[in-house]
Amino acid sequence: MKKTTIIISAIAMILMQSCTSPVQPDNTLSSKEIKDGWKLLFDGSTSNGWMNALTKNFPATGWEIKNGTLATNPELKGEHGGGDIVSTDKYKDFELSVDFNYKPGANSGIKYFIDTERDSGIYRSIGCEYQILDDNLNPDATAGISGNHKLACLYDLIPPSNVKDNGPDAWNNARIIVKGNHVQHLLNGQMTVEYYRGSPEWKEAVSKSKFKDISGFGETIEGRILLQEHGDMVEFKNIKIREL
C-alpha cells in the first residue's frame, strides 16, 4: 500500500471516530467527572439546590426551567420580581463550571462567597462576582475603572484579560477556581483574572471599589454560589462544582 493511501486511510478513520463519538448530554456527569469529585448544582429539570437569597424558597416568578436550562426571564418577573438565587450548600475551596448564554445587551453575574446570614441577611447578594455582560451593547462595560465591569472580570475590582467571548445568543463557559485565598476566573478555557484575597493588591482594589465600606468584603471563609437576576434574559446549564 502506498504511503499516501495509508495516510488518507488513517485520516478517514479518525474522522469516522470523531463523528461517531457520543456527545455527553447536558446537565450530566461523565464517569471521569464523577471519579474526579464533580457534582451537579442543576439537574436540568428542577430547582433542587437553589433558593431565593431572601425568602429561602425558589422564586415563583422571574426564573424558569426550560429546555434543560435555568433561565432568568424578565417577562415573567411579576409584581415582586424573581431576585437572585443562591445554592443551598456552602463552599470553601472549589472549582465551579457554568455554561451561560446571554441575550444582546444583557447583564448578569455569578457570585461566590455569599454570606446570606451575616448581619441579618443585609449582604445576602454581596460577594465576589464573575461578571456576565454584553460588552458591546451594555453601557456598564464603560463604567468602573479600566474595564473592571466587563465580561469575566472580578466585578468593580479587577479588569479581565484574554477575553474570548462567543457573543450573545451563544454558549460560553465560565470557570471559577478557588484554593484558599488564590482565585482564578476563566472564560472559554482562557484565564481572565487571577488574584489573592487579603493581599495588599486586593485591599487596594477593594478600597477603590463600591465595596470599600463593607468590613472584610470578599474574605469570607466559605459561602454560597449566586446566580444574579438583573432584569435581563440569561440562560445557565451544566452547572457543576467539585470541592478541592
Tell me the pLDDT band of 119, cut-offs 50, 70 and 90.
confident
Question: For 141-184, how does the pLDDT look when each residue is reduced to its tens digit (9 = 90+)?
Answer: 999 999 999 999 999 999 999 999 999 999 999 999 999 999 99
With a cut of 50, say whether residue 18 has pLDDT above it.
no
pLDDT tens by residue, 191-233: 999 999 999 999 999 999 999 999 999 999 999 999 999 989 9
Q: For residue 80, what pLDDT band results from cuts at 50, 70 and 90?
A: low
More confident residue, 10 or 126: 126
- Helix, strand or coil, per DSSP, at residue 30: coil
Cell numbers standing for residue 25 = 448530554
Does the pLDDT value for residue 118 go beyond 90?
no
Q: How confident is the model at residue 53 (pLDDT cuts 50, 70, 90)?
A: confident
The enclosing H or E element of 205 equals helix 200-207
CA dihedral 204, 207, 208, 213 (to 10 degrees): 160
- Decide: residue 227, CB within 10 A, 0-12 exposed, 13-18 middle, 19+ buried: buried
pLDDT of residue 2: 53
Paired with 110 in beta bridges are 130, 227
Fold of 26-243: Jelly Rolls (2.60.120)
How many angstroms separate the CA atoms of 144 and 157, rounded? 9
- 87 in Cβ contact with 109 (< 8 Å): no
Taking the model in full, what pTM does it have?
0.89
**What DSSP character marks residue 24?**
P
Q: How far apart are CA 125 and CA 85, in angstroms?
A: 9
How high is the pLDDT of residue 120? 79
Q: Which residues pair with 162 in a beta bridge?
A: none
pLDDT of 79 above 60? no
